[in-house]
Chain A
């Protein structure tokens, strides 16, 4: 062999080794995430689709494949419209009032306070999120139950001199589940928006003040425009999570009284596991999964998540 071919051989060997290393690295870094996505997302979705087109019942047996479940969802389920309407109200109101608006108000007010007290109030609003959901709901139940000893009734009696107890759990369960979820949801927006506000360079606020802007004008012209992407992100993320979670509802009202607080996700859960209609439940679940995936993908395209996460930093000097 000549020296030149030897050199080429050595180089090729090095290249091969490098390519091998790259492949190895990609497996090491992407492997776990890929496995998790396949195991806990892709596979369940496929299983769900298969079951949705089957007649699986309480015995977990599939005897034939059919589209009957979808026909039933479209025409034969009289409760479904009511459930969907309630879900719309629940998601819309929780999102609009608490997760976005109240989260924004919390972020704006606590960042305007001195650091110490701002942090204090933020911690208070984080507590519901940090405490176990059962404990949180027990507190709610203690606050609103119909007896003499509930917080609401105590206040009504001693502060407002009311004669009779009120029973919020029976009379206004929907506002109650919105409140219970909203108190938790607000802290998510609060945290993201707080850091986004912190990311706005101080000199922009100084400049606005020197230019004659008052506090409200500063919020409107400086802070809010900088929060556009974080707000979009919070809106999308929280829509998705409100649509699929029913943890606090099932603990607080159990979906009742009657079916008054049974949102779509809870309805699917009940149909599937309580009444054993696995096929029908799986078909309904598709109506959660598919819009969820579409919204998530749209969000990815629309907001360009990468830019969103970096944007506040660009202006910092």
Chain B
């Protein structure tokens, strides 16, 4: 088990700067998720931890020791690749055994550990098959067993669930999570799926274009996003973003004007989460443009003075129909106001009153 630190880590491929300056501190035993859109440098960060890529600058510390120069094979890091990377010509047993070959583990103990790892992820019935004879979920479990069998000090998971179907993904999600709890191994999960990140991890690191946008608990990221990017990336359905101008305690957006508190820059973006919006007797008037029943909830798109606003209401049967006239209300505490130019949250700014035009 290890505490992991990135100190001013930089990674470039030739002229291409992929990660300019990355700083993370992960305490021993924590489960963190590296969340970000495709191409933002998640796998690159993971590969640097594994020792597959060398950082071009900065320091990588395991338990306070610099590991930049330590070879991949000496790092004792377990990794599950996005495509699993099982050795195609080896059986499941041989695959799981492979890391132990190089560890001078006595044969008896090695066999016992392989069996133990296989049982942990429930693949002990498949030991003599080859990877090509396994389903995606089974391959993923074998990859996990292979990563765990060496009792790694750090477990890296690169989008391990992306090839699985929805139900299997749900089971594997909770299985990996409880496994991590049980073993207490420091774990980094790479994903571009915000639900995966927020449901599995203790802390989420949200990345964009090689930069860390925010590090925090799933709640932090959801309730107090530091940036417009995080606000837009976390939450489903996506947050409503409304552009406006602030002037003398007033905020004008579209046809609407609101009273606001706090010192605001001139150009602002207001974030309103769909699930914080509700229909009421008083509030912002609007006309329903679209109704999408989603099972337990119904998503409405409503045309208002400030633009189209998504509203998520509990209940499967639609209370309002398309073209129906509605009023939208919300609590002032749920409003997020961002500086449009920097994309950063203006922390002390709020609407002066609960939502109404």
Chain A residues close to B by CB (< 8 Å): 201, 203-204, 206-214, 217, 221-222, 225-226, 228, 314-315, 317
Kindly state the separation between the CA atoms of A225 and B196 in the bound complex, as whole angstroms. 36
B129 within 8 A of A: no
> Nearest Cβ in chain B — how far from A271, in angstroms?
47
Contact B85 A204 (CB under 8 A): yes
Closest B residue by C-beta to A218 = B73
Segment with Cβ contacts to A, from B17-25, B45-53, B294-302, B315-323: B45-53
- The listed residue (B75, B79, B132) touching A207 by CB distance below 8 A is B79
- The 8 A-B residue pairs with the shortest CB-CB distance in the complex, in nearest-first order: A212-B102, A211-B99, A207-B85, A203-B85, A225-B89, A209-B72, A212-B73, A317-B83
Residues of the B chain whose Cβ atoms lie less than 8 Å from the Cβ of A217: 101-102
Kindly state the separation between the CA atoms of A221 and B94 in the bound complex, as whole angstroms. 11
Given A206-B47, A206-B81, A207-B85: A221 in contact with B98 (beta carbons within 8 A): yes
* 24 A-B pairs whose Cβ atoms sit less than 8 Å apart in the complex: A201-B83, A201-B85, A203-B82, A206-B50, A206-B79, A206-B85, A208-B87, A210-B50, A210-B73, A210-B75, A210-B77, A210-B79, A211-B73, A211-B98, A211-B99, A211-B102, A211-B150, A212-B101, A213-B101, A214-B73, A214-B102, A221-B90, A221-B98, A315-B88
Residues of the B chain whose Cβ atoms lie less than 8 Å from the Cβ of A208: 87, 98
> Nearest Cβ in chain A — how far from B52, in angstroms?
5
Residues of the B chain whose Cβ atoms lie less than 8 Å from the Cβ of A314: 132
Residues of the B chain whose Cβ atoms lie less than 8 Å from the Cβ of A201: 83, 85
Contact B83 A203 (CB under 8 A): yes
> Nearest Cβ in chain A — how far from B146, in angstroms?
7
Kindly state the separation between the CA atoms of A204 and B81 in the bound complex, as whole angstroms. 9
> Nearest Cβ in chain A — how far from B30, in angstroms?
21
Query: Which B135-177 residues have a C-beta within 8 angstroms of A?
Result: 146, 150
Kindly state the separation between the CA atoms of A241 and B74 in the bound complex, as whole angstroms. 47
Kindly state the separation between the CA atoms of A208 and B50 in the bound complex, as whole angstroms. 11
B181 within 8 A of A: no
Contact B81 A211 (CB under 8 A): no
Would you give the 0/1 interface string for B70-110, flagging 1 where the beta carbon is closer than 8 Å to chain A?
01111101110111010111100000001101110000000
Q: How many of chain B's residues have a CB under 8 angstroms from any CB in A?
A: 28
Residues of the B chain whose Cβ atoms lie less than 8 Å from the Cβ of A315: 88
> Nearest Cβ in chain B — how far from A190, in angstroms?
22
Closest B residue by C-beta to A211 = B99
Contact B79 A212 (CB under 8 A): no
Residues of the A chain whose Cβ atoms lie less than 8 Å from the Cβ of B50: 206, 210
Residues of the A chain whose Cβ atoms lie less than 8 Å from the Cβ of B87: 204, 207-208, 221-222, 225
Closest A residue by C-beta to B50 = A210
> Nearest Cβ in chain B — how far from A116, in angstroms?
13
Residues of the A chain whose Cβ atoms lie less than 8 Å from the Cβ of B98: 208, 211, 213, 221
Kindly state the separation between the CA atoms of A203 and B139 in the bound complex, as whole angstroms. 15
> Nearest Cβ in chain A — how far from B88, in angstroms?
6
Contact B103 A212 (CB under 8 A): yes
Kindly state the separation between the CA atoms of A212 and B97 in the bound complex, as whole angstroms. 12
Kindly state the separation between the CA atoms of A82 and B132 in the bound complex, as whole angstroms. 50
Residues of the B chain whose Cβ atoms lie less than 8 Å from the Cβ of A211: 73, 98-99, 102, 146, 150
Residues of the B chain whose Cβ atoms lie less than 8 Å from the Cβ of A213: 73, 98, 101-102
Kindly state the separation between the CA atoms of A207 and B150 in the bound complex, as whole angstroms. 13
Kindly state the separation between the CA atoms of A200 and B72 in the bound complex, as whole angstroms. 19
Given A201-B83, A214-B73: A209 in contact with B52 (beta carbons within 8 A): yes
> Nearest Cβ in chain B — how far from A240, in angstroms?
27
Kindly state the separation between the CA atoms of A226 and B89 in the bound complex, as whole angstroms. 8
> Nearest Cβ in chain B — how far from A142, in angstroms?
44
> Nearest Cβ in chain A — how far from B190, in angstroms?
14
- The listed residue (A207, A209, A221, A222) touching B51 by CB distance below 8 A is A209
- The listed residue (B51, B82, B83, B101) touching A210 by CB distance below 8 A is B51
> Nearest Cβ in chain B — how far from A276, in angstroms?
55
